[in-house]
A and B are shown apart, each in its own frame.
Chain A
Amino acid sequence: MLSSIRLRCSASYGLRSYHLTNMRAFDELRKLEIFFMEETRRGCSVIELYELVQHAGNILPRLYLLCTAGSVYIKTKEAPAKEILKDLVEMCRGIQHPLRGLFLRSYLAQISRDKLPDIGSEYEGDADTVTDAVEFVLLNFTEMNKLWVRMQHQGPARDKERREKERGELRDLVGKNLHVLSQLEGVDLDMYRDTVLPRVLEQIVNCRDEIAQYYLIDCIIQVFPDEYHLQTLDVLLGACPQLQPSVDIMTVLSRLMERLSNYAALNAEVLPYFLQVEAFSKLNNAIGKVIEAQEDMPILSAVTLYSSLLKFTLHVHPDRLDYADQVLGSCVKQLSGKGKINDTRATREIVSLLSAPLEKYNDVVIALKLTNYPLVVEYLDNETKRIMATVIIRSIMKNNTLITTAEKVEALLELIKGLINDLDEPQGLEVDEDDFEEEQNSVARLVHMLYNDDTEEMFKIISILKKHFLTGGPKRLKFTIPPLVVSTLKLIRRLPVEGDNPFGKEASVTATKIFQFLNQIIEALPNVPSPDLAFRLYLQCAEAANKCDEEPIAYEFFTQAYILYEEEISDSKAQVTALQLIIGTLQRMHVFGVENRDTLTHKATGYSAKLLKKPDQCRAVYACSHLFWLEDHETIQDGDRVLLCLKRALKIANSAQQMGSNGQGSAGSVTLFIEILNKYLYFYEKGIPQITVESVESLIQLIKNEESMPSDPYAESLFASTLQFMEFQKQKGGAIGDRYEEIKV
């Protein structure tokens, strides 16, 4: 049996599919082991067996047999496990062929795995038993790694790539040793720090092989507990700059930091340890050194490292903003002199770097405290700056962060400059229209997050915004001005009413000042083709001024609005809407003196009459009637003018009807009549003496006549509901009911 296996072993090693054959051989060897075991039970001396297998002349089968016999030897406990293991690991040196050696040693690792003289193991030896176990694994590991590294030099250079690939596939064989080490019960922190780590690192550093170094460092990080890493951070990190320059140290360190931060995140109670071992400064130093050591490290790697470090410090030391700032500072230092970053992946990494604090604190205010933050942003290209700005804004929105001081606002605006200003965009790079709108909308939304209860501070904020927005280029004003105005108007409303100042202090922020300010802002708008917007804003302001009893200002705003109406608004539909707005706003104005008001109303009615389409004219005119009758204001109750307006509206409706009958039916005009009737009823109800019962009745009569003609269902239903309303008011009784009572239909 022995010899047959010996034969099979030696035969199979020549085959190319080494891996497979090995699996088979391992299987056979397992059977052999069982056979050996039985032999010893039958009384065959295991020592003799151990010697006997060494008579084999060919080394490879001999060593496989030796390992197998050794395994049995240990099991019989006739000799201390450590002696046998030591012997085995030493004898295995005979195989210097990398591939065969690797497999042999991996077989050794496999059979010895459950037989290490670990603490608590049944093979536990004397006092230093763990040291023996560790020593064994380390030795085997070292040798395996050497073989593994050597593999690359086997064979012709042109096959190098293929060989490297094969090597990559074999790495687990080497890594398994580290895994075994980590599983040893006896490897405690002290053991790890004093023996295991230094030895493994020494091997890693000395092997000067890129693949091995990368894989093994990563192995260490993944295999051993976080706690160990934390306590041996300086040792581990100290090794990093010594690695080959081509080693992807960035990934390795990132993973380490990731692990540590996860560890910190999951176990809050270990945080003090992080402080104790100064994890942050160590990592920071290490990264600095690594970057220094690897001169041609791509910017991507550096940035990724800093990004990981930042994430780490955010997780572990959320309270130490200075750390985060330090990281950003180092990053800036690294980026400086490299100009803008062109590598897209690096850019992406920077974005993630910059987003990290936002995500962590959910509060952009904290990010604003990081002095280096904007400096990093500087290195982004315009496109990315915009993206970054969007990210920041989104974060603010999501968390409803209020930014309350002018200083912070200033900083924030500096950060999101990409959205606020036209940057020196390279030609031919068109920003997508939709995206642009989206971005600007978000800026607009942002404006509302800038808020302070203190009016003075708020004013400062607004001033800053204005400063930035006005320089932001015409395309943006459309989006940025309205929120700014609205925000300002809100401020005005909150201003203490004059004379209401309990401290008698002269408020530095007066309504007048703000209105001037508003005027300036809005003036910017007509320059860009959005008069519409400016027009509305003027009206808004006018209304606000009205509330503040600032007649001249309100008047000024109105004038501006009128000018815009006249000069810029030419589309008839827009005119109609605009006019409605004017009428609506004007109606509510109570601040104006008679003269001013007259001028304005007169103008408004004038505009109404000048509308292009008759129905529009009609509607505008009857709307104007409201301008002359304000219920609460005795001074503005001019029944004559109301009646005049309504009559003119009727006239226009009439002429519209005539034009209509020439043309395509008069359905529209009936609706106009009914609408005018409604106005009549309104004013009648208000008790304007000029609106008589007769005029109402005659109008109803008129409509009824018109009704006889074919008409549209809309008009009919409108009329019906009007009549219904009258009926309803009648039944309500009281003063109004009485008045309706008088109308005879």
Chain B
Amino acid sequence: MNFLLGAFKPACNISITFTDGKNRKQVPIKKDNGQILMNPLFQSQETIAGKIHIDSYQGKKVEHNGVKVELLGQIEMYFDRGNFYDFTSLVRELDVPGEIYERKTYPFEFSSVEMPYETYNGVNVRLRYVLKVTVTRGYAGSIVEYQDFVVRNYVPPPPINNSIKMEVGIEDCLHIEFEYNKSKYHLKDVILGKIYFLLVRIKIKNMDLEIRRRESTGAGANTHVETETLAKFELMDGAPVRGESIPVRVFLTPYDLTPTHTNINNKFSVKYYLNLVLVDEEDRRYFKQQEITLYRLKEETS
């Protein structure tokens, strides 16, 4: 009977707690099923330590061939779902084969873990970090518990941060010059700029600034590119006349942005673009796209 019961229920309950779990910042992560869970936040070179508790049910004896905890950095492609590519894998053996009769607590520590990539949840790709506790059993199947955590890496402000300045136009129709104050923005930054209308021969209805994310996955012939518009911010209403200059001020805070990721483990890239769109009265769109680099700046208050 007990045996049967054990077949339907895991023989023991595994829970993972972090050492500073109560104080550590939690960030929301969207799960596959749409559920939003709060997960602790780490960054590269941090020591990830905690305790793993294993409770056997009803004091039942659990035989095992060893207990281990792994720290995994995984990339999952959605077209190849279920198949994880681990770019980081660290293992700590917690126990030699034996039996567990009662609640058992194992402390663990991964010190100064190199976690070069950030957690990312994209359209076609996902990068996640997870702690995986495995109670290995021979025939009955191993008992596995996962604990996700989030990694964000902060970088210092780039030493060179030029403004973006460009003159574009359609001959004898529209000439504009636009200027964004930087080419690299941190995630809480404000895009400041100006758009000068040098020649206006079309009847413009309005002008928007879009923030677009371009996520490319795979490599070579299998490259798959997905572009999303994350923000659409109206800059101007009505038709300007020549000589007019329109201010740009876009706060990035309200948008769900990530840093720019370039060629993460040869698997994927995430790039951001500012797309300036002019719409004329016949709803024709004129646009110019400019790449910007996003980076995560250490927040002072956190």
Contact = CB atoms under 8 A, between A and B. Distances in A.
A59 B235 contact: yes
Contacts of A60: 237
B231 A57 contact: yes
B212 to A, nearest CB: 15
A54 B254 CA distance: 10
A98 B204 CA distance: 13
B247 A91 contact: yes
B232 A59 contact: no
A96 B247 CA distance: 12
A58 B234 contact: yes
Main SS class of interface, B: strand
Contacts of B251: 51, 54-55
Interface stretch (B238-246, B256-264, B266-274): B238-246
A51 B231 CA distance: 17
A27 to B, nearest CB: 22
A145 to B, nearest CB: 13
B241 to A, nearest CB: 6
B247 A93 contact: yes
A59 B234 contact: yes
B247 A97 contact: no
B236 interface: yes
B253 interface: yes
A100 interface: yes
Contacts of B238: 95-98, 100-101
A566 interface: no
B287 interface: no
B201 interface: no
Contact of B237 (A55, A91, A96, A150): A96
A168 interface: no
A593 interface: no
A101 B206 CA distance: 13
B223 to A, nearest CB: 32
A93 B233 contact: no
B249 interface: yes
B227 to A, nearest CB: 19
Nearest to A98: B238
Interface string A96-119: 111011000000000000000000
A552 B23 CA distance: 144
Contacts of A57: 231-234
A28 interface: no
A59 B236 contact: yes
Contact of B249 (A58, A91, A97, A150): A91
Contacts of A54: 249, 251
B254 A55 contact: yes
Contacts of A59: 206, 234-237
A727 interface: no
Given A55-B254, A57-B231, A150-B241, A95 B247 contact: no
A101 B239 CA distance: 11
Given A51-B251, A55-B251, A57-B231, A94 B241 contact: no
A90 interface: yes
A98 B241 CA distance: 11
A60 B238 CA distance: 11
Contacts of A58: 234
30 contacts: A51-B251, A51-B253, A54-B251, A55-B251, A55-B253, A57-B231, A57-B232, A57-B234, A58-B234, A59-B206, A59-B234, A59-B235, A59-B236, A91-B247, A91-B249, A93-B244, A93-B245, A94-B234, A94-B246, A94-B247, A95-B237, A96-B236, A96-B237, A96-B240, A96-B244, A97-B237, A97-B239, A98-B238, A100-B237, A101-B238
